[in-house]
Amino acid sequence: MPSLASTAPPRTIDRPCPPGSWDVHHHIFDLDGRFPLSPTRHFTPSPATLAQFEAFQHRLGIEHACIAHGLSFGTDPSSLVFYLDYFQGSARAFACVDITSVTDKEIIELRDKGIPGIRIDYHLHKAQHNVEEQIRCLRQYAARAAPFGWTLQTYHPHPEYYESLSPVIRELPVPVVVDHFGGLKTASLLRYQGLEADTFDAASQPGLAALCSLLRDGKLWIKLSAPYRCSEDPTFEDMRPLVRALVDANPDRVLYGSDWPHTQPFHRRPKDLKGSDVETYLPFDDVAWVNKLKTWLSQDEWGKLMISNPRAFTGYDRDN
């Protein structure tokens, strides 16, 4: 049962990520019956196996994984426990659990396995488009997580909500990590959605200042992951102002995530998507994106993003 580093072929110069790199947001969907899908899932993923995941990470040069619980598995973290055992202490994961029924003993066991936090499933709570329900979830989950030192993981496609969420996040007794650039938008995304974009300025959009303030004050982590959730520019060049704004706010609180195997973004999903509908994955050139991202950062910022920040975020240094 190996680590990513131990199973990788000899490192060559065409690997874009430096030794010791982390991928803090991805999924694994082994659909061979060992890990049943939830009846409340909002779509059915296509297979994306552990073997495929390892091959993908080897191409990038990633040596540490932090698995984001696939929401299609509901609140059953058994797949995460299996993968954490497989990676022999070199990986971490964020789990979805039912906070109304999970026991203290079970939380401690999950934490000791390498799970430093809990992922809030806003789909389950019908909170994706409801800021008041998100506030309720944040407070409820934080109260359950705080005694165990857990972090809360969240995502929704409404960056403007952070103007209301910011004071709530500041008062929570736990750290918070936000996925996928906090759902920030670009003009190319607005055009794809048929919205007016001629006067849109990504650097002054609602929510960005609130996110940057939380980052500056060390109240938030944010993942520079899945640019296709924010942009429809095939070069992703319009992501540069957002990357720089977030990194400039606090280079010690930004994290890299691949979002492999690249589930479909909200704006590309059918409005009538059902839980039984099998979803294909978005074609995405991870190597090209990582190489572009690297050019927008200094060498010091790149090392923080890929190595030192995720070690601090996951508690890896504390645990080893």
Task: Express each pLDDT in 264-295 by its tens digit.
Answer: 999 999 888 999 989 999 999 999 999 999 99
What is the share, in percent, of the chain residues with pLDDT greater than 90? 90
In this prediction the pTM is 0.95
Q: What does the block give as tokens for 256? A: 């890299």
Cβ burial, residue 100 (10 Å; 0-12/13-18/19+): exposed
Q: What does the block give as tokens for 122? A: 């806003």
DSSP 8-state assignment for residue 48? B
Residue 317 has what pLDDT? Answer: 82
Residue 1 has what pLDDT? Answer: 40
Lowest mean pLDDT among 37-46, 103-112, 145-154: 37-46
Q: Is the pLDDT of residue 76 over 80?
A: yes
**Pairing state between β 64-68 and 254-257:** unpaired
**Mean pLDDT of the chain, nearest integer:** 94
Q: What does the block give as tokens for 124? A: 């389950």
Task: Give the span between the Cα atoms of 286 and 66, in whole angstroms.
Answer: 17
For 64, phi and psi rounded to 5 degrees? -135, 135
Find residue 223's DSSP bridge partners.
255
Mean pLDDT computed over 285-309? 98
Helix or strand run (H / E) with residue 107: helix 104-113
Residue 52 has what pLDDT? Answer: 96
Mean pLDDT computed over 217-234? 97
Q: Is the pLDDT of residue 91 over 60?
A: yes
Cβ-proximal residues to 205 (8 Å cutoff; 6+ apart), any chain: 159, 160, 184, 185
